[in-house]
Chain A
Amino acid sequence: MEFNIYDLTSFTSSFDQLLMENLSPFWAVAIEMILIGVAILAFYAVVGLYLVYAERKVCAFMQCRVGPNRVGPYGFFQTIADLIKLLMKELIPIKNADKLLFNIAPYIVIIASFMAIAAIPFAKGLHAIDFNIGIFYIMAVSSLGVIGILIAGWSSNNKYSLIGAMRSGAQIVSYELSVGLSLITIVILSGSLQLSTIVEGQRDGWFLFTGHIPALIAFLVFLVAATAETNRGPFDLAEAESELTAGFHTEYSGIKFAFFFLAEYMNMFIVASIAVTMFLGGWMPFHVGGWEAFNNIMDYIPPFFWYAGKTAFIIWVMMWFKWTFPRLRIDQLLTLEWKYLLPINLVNIIIMAFVVLMGWHF
């Protein structure tokens, strides 16, 4: 099977060569970095804004409402208008707040999510850095955000914020475990930590299908744990609107609040991307063994669209969670992790290791 038609590797590598030939290696790398940085920045802003829009539309439809429909057709520019509003809003200085930490917290949160995006393979060749420990890197970086949340809660000089931040800390420390373990299950199956290898390994079938039941369980566990890790849905204890008014970002206004807000949606995007890369074959098209014609048609859909579609689906599922379920209490949240997800996960890893050892996977 060949699907080189949409292979972007040749394009990116020729561009790289062009720069390398004409410039010193230092400048070539510098220009590449700037270009990639700008591209990611733009991508980040657009995706973040439109995820907010998507969330508002999705929840509106689930609630028998229309959702934003005033700014532009179907309210398409609503979030851009919101962003402009947030940019122009006053940044309220908080009395007795720790100025340095208070100002630095939103940046930590948003930088953490920025860094994670760099390692995500969007399509063949459309990949900023292909680490050999890619998945490990994403896990490490994406969990940095909690430091920002803790700092925000601590420095706001507000008891609600503090409670929210502490909840968030406890939550992420525990759920990081489940996220890691469920990904390790797939790493066992693929035998690699490198994201490009993992995606390539799913050429003949996504890991969700080839890995039998253990992969399915790992996927479900990952979905739950990832929702928890992004402070969303039924696990939004750090914000817990009805209890803590707004939790850790109670005292933030204007663009600083927007940073938290954007980072939340980008984190959702990142975990959805990880889920797609690890379980649903990344940018690989959907193939059914034996159906050549069907597979060929699938190949004509560009890999980026495959990737985006799958990510959108996962994000939609996470939104579905959020708009259906009530929030858990902090002790129940920890019970769910330590009494249910973690044991299931550990057993699951052993089963997966056994399956791989015996060669029972496809």
Chain B
Amino acid sequence: MVEEITKGKLEEQEFSINMGPQHPSTHGVLRMMLKLKGETVKEVKPQLGYIHRGIEKMCEKLTYQQIIHLTDRLDYMSANILNEAVCLTVEDALQVEVPERVQYIRTIMGELNRIASHQLWWCAFGMDLGALTTFFYGLRDREKILDIFEETIGARLLLSYNVPGGLMNDIHPNFQKKVKEFITYFRKKLPEYDALLTGNPIMQQRTKGIGMLTKEQAIAYGVSGPSGRGSGFSCDVRIHQPYSAYSKADFKEILYHEGDTFARYKVRIDEMWESMNIIEQLIDNIPEGNYTAKMKPVIKLPVGEYYTRVEAVRGEFGVYIVSDGNKTPYRVKFRSPNFSNLSALDLMAREQKIADLIAIGGSMDYVIPDMDR
């Protein structure tokens, strides 16, 4: 050994390290095999499958109404939007016209869900950077949304509120009042987020210029949602292919062109403002009417293939249903945004420090069940 050192034979070596599946900042059971040289990350190999439940296989045995509750368990942070995606697919296939009231409520619920998810992302992102207080402020504000959900839907996280043709039940009489209260409350609290984290020079140094992803790379890797929009990839399905009541609201797509961690951060913060705008425009105009369209108790889709794209919180979510005319689908494929987003992690994290890898992972906002399905 000593001779080797003195002769200079002992070269610097890369060493590999396992991050996860039990690690505080992999946000679940993601395992990353890292190759490090000192503190510098040379390679990231994500290993998936720790909560692979075979949801696509399970869906082949369930009726369309029953699939809904499984989509909750994909990206649990945007459960409502995922439910909506399946419902839209079924409604498209059957060519059912859902009442306008349903469309409005679905959109509002979806946007509330988006805010709630971004709040949790903000907490977790702060934690990833080491600012532990953010976690509690974010959760405190998220609680208000969860209370709104609980009052109307009865669940807080796994909502299962949409059913093919409409909604599980009508909104609670207090719903509109509470949503408006929440928006006035959160408009006051959101600047606090900026004061605590966004403006912090340590945070800015940690995120600016870190984890670069160009627009071309984002498109090639299929990185969509806020992560893609941070790179200037205009991929908001709500704008390009409006569904539900998004065409009735006036809002803009948040685009940042830097492509670094800070840009992705800013996109999400701005999206919270924009989501509040959408809700404010719609909340007073919910039309009267039925909360569900007339549907047969047994839903059989005509033979064919149906694809729906919606904008889930973390990116574009797609439902691909192949039907053979039975009451259960022949094949269901969920295009989950996180799965595609994860594939770009290796590209972004190379030649960065370990701490940056955590920041990048936080800014991509991974939800592991969504990847594993």
Contact = CB atoms under 8 A, between A and B. Distances in A.
Contacts of A159: 15, 17
Given A234-B202, A242-B128, A330-B355, A163 B39 contact: yes
Given A159-B15, A243-B355, A327 B129 contact: yes
A62 B132 CA distance: 11
B354 interface: yes
Given A59-B132, A159-B17, A326 B203 contact: yes
A242 B127 contact: yes
A242 B206 contact: no
A325 B132 CA distance: 8
Nearest to B204: A326
Interface in B123-158: 126-133, 135-137, 140
B356 interface: yes
A231 to B, nearest CB: 13
B206 to A, nearest CB: 6
B23 A245 contact: yes
A326 B354 CA distance: 15
Contacts of A244: 354
B15 to A, nearest CB: 7
A160 B133 contact: no
A328 B354 contact: no
A245 B24 contact: yes
Contacts of A332: 202, 205-206
A242 B358 contact: yes
A63 B24 contact: no
B353 interface: yes
B117 to A, nearest CB: 20
B196 interface: yes
A135 interface: no
A236 B137 contact: no
A242 B130 contact: yes
Instruction: Pick the most buried of B129, B200, B356: most chain A CB atoms within 10 A of its CB.
Output: B129
Contacts of B24: 241-242, 245
A323 B354 contact: no
Instruction: Pick the most buried of B39, B133, B353, B355: most chain A CB atoms within 10 A of its CB.
Output: B355
A243 B203 contact: no
Instruction: Pick the most buried of A245, A323, A327: most chain B CB atoms within 10 A of its CB.
Output: A327
Nearest to B197: A326
Interface in B88-132: 126-132
Interface in A305-330: 323-330
B136 A64 contact: yes
Given A160-B17, A163-B39, A240 B355 contact: yes
B244 to A, nearest CB: 35
A188 to B, nearest CB: 31
B206 A330 contact: no
A332 B136 CA distance: 27
Contacts of A245: 23-24
A243 B39 CA distance: 11
B130 A63 contact: no
B338 interface: no
Contacts, number: 77
B25 interface: yes
A65 interface: yes
Instruction: Pick the most buried of A59, A62, A63, A65: most chain B CB atoms within 10 A of its CB.
Output: A63
A234 B130 contact: yes
A327 B196 contact: no
A243 B354 contact: yes
B17 A326 contact: no
Interface in B347-362: 353-356, 358
A242 B137 CA distance: 18
Contacts of B206: 326, 328-329, 332
Contacts of A331: 353
Interface in A133-188: 159-160, 163, 167
A328 B127 CA distance: 13
A64 B126 CA distance: 16
A330 B197 CA distance: 19
Contacts of B197: 326
A330 B136 contact: no
A328 B140 contact: no
Contact of A330 (B126, B202, B353): B353
Contacts of B140: 64
Contact of A323 (B133, B200, B353, B356): B133
Nearest to B196: A324
A336 to B, nearest CB: 9
Contacts of A64: 136-137, 140
A326 B130 contact: yes
Given A242-B127, A326-B126, A63 B354 contact: no
Contacts of B200: 325-326
Interface in B6-44: 15, 17, 23-25, 39
Contact of A325 (B17, B131, B136, B137): B131
A160 B16 CA distance: 11
Nearest to A323: B133
Given A63-B137, A64-B137, A243-B358, A324 B131 contact: yes
Given A63-B137, A234-B202, A323 B132 contact: yes
B7 to A, nearest CB: 24
Interface in B73-100: none
Nearest to B357: A243
A29 to B, nearest CB: 46
Given A243-B354, A326-B126, 11 more contacts: A63-B135, A242-B130, A243-B355, A324-B131, A326-B131, A326-B197, A326-B206, A327-B130, A329-B206, A330-B355, A331-B353
27 contacts: A63-B136, A63-B137, A64-B140, A159-B15, A163-B39, A163-B354, A234-B130, A240-B130, A241-B24, A241-B130, A242-B129, A243-B25, A243-B354, A243-B355, A243-B358, A244-B354, A245-B23, A323-B133, A324-B131, A324-B196, A327-B130, A327-B131, A328-B205, A328-B206, A329-B355, A330-B355, A332-B205
3 nearest A-B residue pairs (beta carbon) = A327-B130, A326-B129, A63-B136
